Amino acid sequence: MQSELFQATRDLGGLAIQLCYYRGFGEFKATKFVTETGQLLNLMNGVSCRGGLTQISRMLAHAVKETRARPVKAVVFIGDCCEESVDELCHTAGELGLLRTPVFMFHEGADPHARAVFQQVSKLSGGAYAPFDRNSPQVLKDLMAAVAVYASGGAKALQDFSSRSSPEVKRLTRQIR
């Protein structure tokens, strides 16, 4: 999947990805930006899961900081729940919206609270929300490719990509303002 993200954007100017993750007791990591499949794969293979509370607010605050340092074209969050203050998350999402950094919230599972929060975050930032489940890895792959195309080529490139993509990508594309 990682190589397809980079391939999907090659003709649009390429893609730089920063992997961020949280786990355990207050651990939050952000890698350097990478531009090659092998680099991203090595970073992802170095991550292991640990229990702990969500730290979506930290991730969004990090995105604000990065965007102020250099333009970030899109943020992707993949998660299944939310245990944080909705107001704080929405405030930071609004900041990202003002900075023109959309957040794409990809929701694994069916938690109704997470769905409501993820929808608000994506809307306030100018991004999009999309659900998926463990039985639909192709859906996540398509959604990630769509965001990669958007980050590299903007709304017009996403429209073009969407015209030949899955229904999930079409739904995602309709949410972009």
Mean pLDDT of 74-90: 96
Count Cα neighbours of 143 within 13 Å in the Cβ-side half-sphere: 27
pLDDT range class, residue 126, cuts 50, 70, 90: very high
Q: What is the pLDDT of residue 177?
A: 64
- Residue type, position 156, single letter: K
- Sequence-distant (6+) residues with CB within 8 A of 143 are 104, 106, 130, 132, 168, 169, 172
Kindly report which listed range (1-15, 28-42, 43-57, 79-93) carries the lowest average pLDDT score. 1-15
Beta strands in 3-148 (DSSP E): 20-23, 27-30, 75-79, 103-108, 128-132
C-beta separation of 146 from 173 below 8 A: yes
Predicted TM-score (pTM) of this structure? 0.90
As a whole number of angstroms, the distance between CA 143 and CA 148 comes to: 9
pLDDT range class, residue 75, cuts 50, 70, 90: very high
Distances in Å between the Cα of 43 and the Cα atoms of 22, 67, 160 are 14, 21, 31
Q: What is the pLDDT of residue 22?
A: 96
Q: What is the pLDDT of residue 11?
A: 54
| Phi–psi pair at 150, nearest 5 degrees | -60, -45
Mean pLDDT of 32-51: 87
As a whole number of angstroms, the distance between CA 139 and CA 145 comes to: 10
Domains of the chain: 52-175 (3.40.50)
Max Cα–Cα distance, the chain, nearest Å: 43
